[in-house]
Amino acid sequence: MSDYQHEVEELERESATAARLFDVRRIIGGLFVVYGVIVTIAGLTASDADLKKAQDININLWTGLGMLALGLFFLIWLKLRPAVPPTAEELQTAAEEGTAEG
């Protein structure tokens, strides 16, 4: 293989790594898990006065558990369906179609 082919393969690997690293599902899932843990802890340590204010419903606990569930959903979704960057052929085809239409 030529040096050019090695360079192209290296760039494709870096592109795939960047696509996985900056996937929005990772950021959203991570934030929801972190905030969910914080709010769940606040719900577990709620006093009777706090519960009385919310008509004896532990809002922090239920909201925290919901946030944890949503965050885990995003992270599991990311694991099951990882982001795949487009190949060079797909990009070239899209560029050719774009110039043909315009």
pLDDT in tens, 45-97: 999 998 999 899 999 999 999 999 999 999 999 999 887 766 767 777 777 77
Q: Please count the CA atoms within 13 angstroms of the CA of 33 that sit on its side-chain side.
A: 12
* Dihedral sign computed on CA atoms, order 95, 96, 101, 102: positive
Residue 101: pLDDT over 70: no
What predicted TM-score, i.e. pTM, was given to this entire model?
0.67
Which pLDDT band holds residue 19 (cuts at 50, 70, 90)?
low
Angle between helix 59-80 and 24-44 (nearest 10): 150
Q: How far is CA 93 from the centre of its chain?
A: 28
- Which of helix, strand or coil describes residue 56? coil
Distance between CA atoms of 21 and 26, rounded to whole angstroms? 8
